[in-house]
Amino acid sequence: MNKSFGLTFGIYPLSVAGTPFGLAVGPEDNYEKIQLALKDLRGENKTLLPRNYLIYTKEWEAKMLSNADRYLDVGLLGDLTLGCGDWTHHQELAIELDHWLAFIRKVINQYGSHIASLQITNEPNLSFMEGSKPYILQALVEGVIAAKKETQARNLPIKVGFGSVPDSPMAVPHFWESLAKAGGSTFINSVDFVGHNFYVDVFEEQPLDLKQISASVERTLHSLRKKHFITAGIPTSVPIRVTENGWPTGKNPIANVERPYEHQANVLETVIRTIYNLRLDLNISHYELFGLRDADSSKEDLFHQYGIMRDDYSPKPAYDTFKKLINELGI
């Protein structure tokens, strides 16, 4: 396969998962087992980038840099996302912009040679996460510009982008129109990709069949490219990255429906093949899975069971499916 026609695959390799109710946590990460799994999944000659997160607040900066040191030590600094703000603290009405931009530059200066891409903000248009912050558009725009300037000044081949989620009752209204007003040509010229986090057949009240899942993926990505990018003035040359996607096992808390391991494999294959078939028409470059292992396999709620491995690193059926798809469709 010509490499230019494949997808670049990635995966969130750690266990902690953010939820609307706080963090889903469980047994500690085992970095040796993580590395063995990543090596096995990518095989002899395919790419599988680790995707990780640092969440900035002025108070958390030292802790986040310590996390980055640990990710560097264990080889997990591939695609890095810098989230912005503590969304559990609703009184945080402002950001010290100089400190935020200095943090971005510091990450690039200290870890830039180990980073493939830097995403500024994860879900800035999700109303109960980063989108709850009145400063988020300024942090996004100024952060992307600062990151691009710093990578260029240091001659680092780091791709710079920002994150997003689909329209929903939980999305920030008129986000893309507001981004167009806040942005400008310097911002647009600094954007190398737009990450899109979306989960199909996860939070719906009733389960979807595989055809409905494929149709939902198509609607989501067509809407991003054909509607929101145009609204924001983002050109077709800027690729979409599917930066978070997955199908957890366990139990749906809304419909109270069991989510079996075998169906996880079928859903992920349907989603990934649909994205692959859209990649040329919509300029989609990456698919990054959330995630490698469950936070806690003993807890039946789906927030603890996003992994294609259990929390002891034993594989679910979806593990072999994902490995097969990387080998067949990846670069």
Superfamily of domain 3-329, CATH level 4: Glycosidases (3.20.20.80)
Confidence of residue 4 (pLDDT cuts 50, 70, 90): low
For residues 2-25, give the mean pLDDT.
84
* Residue 223: both structure tokens together: 């809407």
The answer to whether residue 1 scores a pLDDT higher than 70 is no
Residue holding tokens 């929390």? 311
For residues 10-14, give the mean pLDDT.
98
Burial profile 111-138: b = 16 or more Cβ within 10 angstroms, e = fewer: bbeebbbbbbbbbbbbbebbbbbebbbe
The predicted structure's pLDDT at residue 2: 41
The answer to whether residue 252 scores a pLDDT higher than 90 is no
- The backbone torsions φ and ψ at residue 233, rounded to the nearest 5 degrees and listed phi first, read 80, 25
Pair 43, 325: CB distance under 8 Å: no
pLDDT one-digit tens code per residue, 200-249: 999 888 899 999 999 999 999 999 999 999 999 999 999 999 999 999 99
Q: Cα separation of 95 and 93, whole Å?
A: 7
Q: Higher-confidence residue: 95 or 222?
A: 222
Q: How many CB atoms lie within 10 A of CB 273?
A: 15
The predicted structure's pLDDT at residue 260: 96
The answer to whether residue 93 scores a pLDDT higher than 80 is no
The answer to whether residue 268 scores a pLDDT higher than 80 is yes
The answer to whether residue 137 scores a pLDDT higher than 80 is yes
Can you give the residue ranges of every domain in the chain? 3-329
pLDDT one-digit tens code per residue, 140-159: 999 999 999 999 999 999 99
Taking the whole predicted model, whether its pTM rises above 0.85 is answered as: yes
Q: Which residues contact 227 (CB under 8 A, 6 or more apart)?
A: 176
